[in-house]
Structure 1
């Protein structure tokens, strides 16, 4: 096995890289903050844990905070999938759509937190090794902090594995005298490492925290992390005898298991069921009391609602003209954004009619756009900004007639955001709906078709938005397609689609990340309140097979100490 160069993980050796952040570690003049200081009292440890969350908890929103890393991102992953297209071409999503990705700049294109994750992992290892030295802490608090560290370490590993496949496992803090030439571990070793961390964290973390401590990892967050990791492990990208492209011999196990094992789906199902069983003890439940036309919107627009298992708290209030809102808001608004996220017609066609049947969209177009909208799944109007829809009090009648694709993303951007009303972004890392969908998908694959529990899980999601139950007696393939589509709709714009496409290995299907991408041209009809629509192809996208996993950054590969992913 080739070795990982020392500089690749040198960021792990910055013990107190956070000591200059006054938000967490203010100190009196002339008083040096050392690692020993961090473990001298519970108060000091809490400051260190706060910084750990800042380093180790991610979100999928645009950010230009360069206090921790020199990189920044101005778009969301939806623009590199069939969900969306950014209204301007200079954002990085378009680089994915044209397959203009290189190993030289991957950390600037999508994975801007790459090096930061290694710092977070080191901080986790320090806490786990030294938490017992803190004087006068209770066993419960000790377990909580230890559990938080194991959870955040596992979360950062999952974020790397879904991008790169196997990565080096670092289960201790390094000193400069240690041998830092670590090789990549296999997919199996990495998944087992995550599962062990998450299992132990779940045993130590509390089910809930006081309302003043929102954003800290709970038992449910650890269970949810385990569920997602095992779902990825069971999926076709990794759960395979042969990888998407070969590295040759045993090196293939860095990017897949090297065998298909149906029991991996059983492990994924059991992990998702554990989340569902835990949820009542954590006060977690689906939002069902706002009405079918509002349940879904309430869930994504209301911070700290009862469906959220873990949300990122890295953002405070942000004005409408500031990141992250500025690059997500449509540039057609009165208080325009930099760009805006346009929703593709590829995605609009995923919405079923309210009776559960497919909507018909003639390629020749039609004169009944509003009728089409009214027939769709209620989640459509709670997700997408369409012509004459309500945006906010400044733009109560949204105009899409001159927009490039006919629709814009409204989800993630609350109506309460307007001039003079800053809002805190509600980025949800884990929410309960995902556990239901994980459970349904895994049961269908393990049992070679859906059983009653699989139907019940996905129907819970559909019913809360007024959609009918799935038809009975679906085949495994048909149920798979319906559950995939349900994930597309329910988890839209939440940074799931970008990874689901890869783990399902469907990126090369026409209209997913390759081939024809469609929009709608809209036009007023003289003497009518209806709108004419005409589908059109706005773009042909590319997806070479090598993009199922990211390349490792070229500056490290060129040192000759790490095995690059195939095709790069």
Structure 2
């Protein structure tokens, strides 16, 4: 469908202008006019709006710009973010990747906004659709636009609200709207859209991937939580926290969703599987699939060109999984690990013993059984031999000595994993566990620690997780620390950590901590294993990194009417 559509429509970015596009402009106009008199082409154009939404099913996951993962090659993305050298000249080629969950989304998101504006303008005229279908497609487009603007404001702060699809020869005189103005615009789009949308669409529905009232409410829940957080709520206005609590509870009380019982299949089951936790996600099919596992699993499964090193999980994250007795492995000060928690039973020389089950369901390490193979990530003490899955064997094995297990294919794919294998596990834009934790956080900030604890414990009580509840004696700042860590663990690799540490304004602590991996050393005489954390990247923080810059070239296209992000 995408190829058919592109043959009719030339999609141009909001702020782009080139001689090549100008030469093609008359042909593009003819093709575009042909679209709106053909029902199938209108639907195809609308489907492309969904295709334009970015997800993290690729090698350049946003997790690499956090302390969750470490890419072998940090000279490119995400190096400038991790060492605080990001600027308006290196932001696009060093932080924007079309194939995965990237940080820099200015051109991509505004390009999609432009396509939506064109669609909405055409829907106001006489097109080949009946009124009911037109109303639904318009509503869906508005929800997608709202989501794009939310993505933009959490990255750039206040951004221009664009209300017309500029032609190639238009003069741009755009300026940033305030964050409050952007939030109001997002609210308006969602409120106008919801009456025309189905209440919900489940993961096993043929329409899965399209937005619903529940998806719109999930956007509001996340947006209100962010806007209530310290980065956006300097005076700690409690009415904003109440708004966040109300939005989360509204979605919870609808009662449409439930926690999926199995944490593993929640993420790796193929599209079309029953999963009543996903509120909105991207659907993949055998004709439109992704290749994420080939970037993440290492050389054993066919990664090449260094891309297998793209999936290195950090020791920093490993250290933050609780012990099975419910105790944190480390004592935290300012949300940073310091000393081993004596109540936990954690042994640094037995680092993988008795951890939160989500650790084993999310991360592959030395000795892991995965798809019938025991992973060997050790290096001999004399350095002369090593396991096949060690970084010594191949640059396609992550230097951190951990690979991603979350999202990776289960036994439903019994054939050999190759670049041609149709991986169809959906990407979750929103799921119920996030909404539970949104509600828990808002209630904590409103002073109701019992409700906060209850909703954290609901997440921990998932049948295949079954972690002990947070005890009643955990209160105040200690409860805040546990709440923050629960989001870190439950939502790992799902594009939350980058924004969470910023909106909480704990980044000056967490983002100054160096990235670590783990060396597994096998004694050549006794074959006994020992474990030594290894520093992989010297991270730095600068307060300007709370938001990211706009490319210099984009500023110049507006003759400077769009101001640069502060600090850049």
Residue equivalent to 1:562: 562
Q: For residues 400 and 101 of structure 1, what CA distance do their matches in structure 2 show?
A: 33
- The question of whether the paired residues in 2 share the 8 Å contact of 1:231 and 1:438 is answered with yes
Q: 1:523 aligns with which of 521, 524, 530?
A: 521
Residue equivalent to 2:302: 335
Q: 2:227 aligns with which of 233, 239, 257?
A: 233
Q: For residues 317 and 127 of structure 2, what CA distance do their matches in structure 1 show?
A: 55
Q: For residues 303 and 278 of structure 1, what CA distance do their matches in structure 2 show?
A: 26
Query: What per-residue deviation string (whole Å, max 9, x for no partner) do you get for residues 314-356 of structure 1?
Result: 786689xx8544432324x253442232222211111111221
1:301 aligns with 2:255: no
- Evaluate the alpha carbon distance shift between residue 31 and residue 434 of structure 1 in structure 2; reply closer, same or farther with a 3 A threshold: closer
- Equivalent pairs, count: 501
Query: What per-residue deviation string (whole Å, max 9, x for no partner) do you get for residues 499-527 of structure 1?
Result: 11111111210xx2213333322223579
- The question of whether the paired residues in 1 share the 8 Å contact of 2:460 and 2:468 is answered with yes
Tell which deviates more after alignment, 87-96 or 155-164: 87-96
Residue equivalent to 1:49: 46
What is the Cα-based RMSD across aligned positions, in Å? 3.4
Q: 1:188 aligns with which of 169, 173, 180?
A: 180
- The question of whether the paired residues in 1 share the 8 Å contact of 2:83 and 2:539 is answered with yes
- The question of whether the paired residues in 2 share the 8 Å contact of 1:106 and 1:551 is answered with yes
Residue equivalent to 1:287: 260
| Secondary structure in 1 matching 2:108 | helix
Residue equivalent to 2:282: 312
- The question of whether the paired residues in 1 share the 8 Å contact of 2:329 and 2:340 is answered with no
Q: For residues 139 and 473 of structure 1, what CA distance do their matches in structure 2 show?
A: 58
Q: Kindly state the Cα deviation for residue 217 of structure 1 after the two structures are TM-superposed.
A: 1.0
1:215 aligns with 2:194: no
Q: Equivalent residues in 2 for 1:302-451 (5 A)? A: 302-304=269-271, 305-313=275-283, 323-331=291-299, 333=300, 335-337=302-304, 338=307, 339-359=309-329, 372-393=351-372, 396-402=373-379, 403=390, 404-416=399-411, 418-419=416-417, 421-445=421-445, 447-451=446-450
Q: Which stretches in structure 1 are left out of the alignment for 5+ residues?
A: 1-6, 21-29, 63-73, 241-258, 289-294
Residue equivalent to 2:196: 204
Q: 2:246 aligns with which of 237, 252, 270?
A: 270
- The question of whether the paired residues in 1 share the 8 Å contact of 2:142 and 2:189 is answered with yes
- The question of whether the paired residues in 2 share the 8 Å contact of 1:388 and 1:397 is answered with yes
Q: Kindly state the Cα deviation for residue 216 of structure 1 after the two structures are TM-superposed.
A: 0.9
- Evaluate the alpha carbon distance shift between residue 309 and residue 529 of structure 1 in structure 2; reply closer, same or farther with a 3 A threshold: farther
Q: Kindly state the Cα deviation for residue 297 of structure 1 after the two structures are TM-superposed.
A: 0.8
Q: For residues 535 and 75 of structure 2, what CA distance do their matches in structure 1 show?
A: 20
Residue equivalent to 1:65: none
Q: For residues 223 and 101 of structure 1, what CA distance do their matches in structure 2 show?
A: 34
- Evaluate the alpha carbon distance shift between residue 118 and residue 12 of structure 1 in structure 2; reply closer, same or farther with a 3 A threshold: farther
Residue equivalent to 2:498: 498
| Secondary structure in 2 matching 1:85 | coil
| Secondary structure in 1 matching 2:279 | strand
- Evaluate the alpha carbon distance shift between residue 406 and residue 174 of structure 1 in structure 2; reply closer, same or farther with a 3 A threshold: closer
Q: Kindly state the Cα deviation for residue 211 of structure 1 after the two structures are TM-superposed.
A: 2.7
Q: 1:77 aligns with which of 62, 65, 74?
A: 62
1:125 aligns with 2:117: yes
Q: For residues 521 and 208 of structure 2, what CA distance do their matches in structure 1 show?
A: 46
Structure 1 runs (4+) deviating above 6 angstroms are: 176-179, 366-370, 526-530
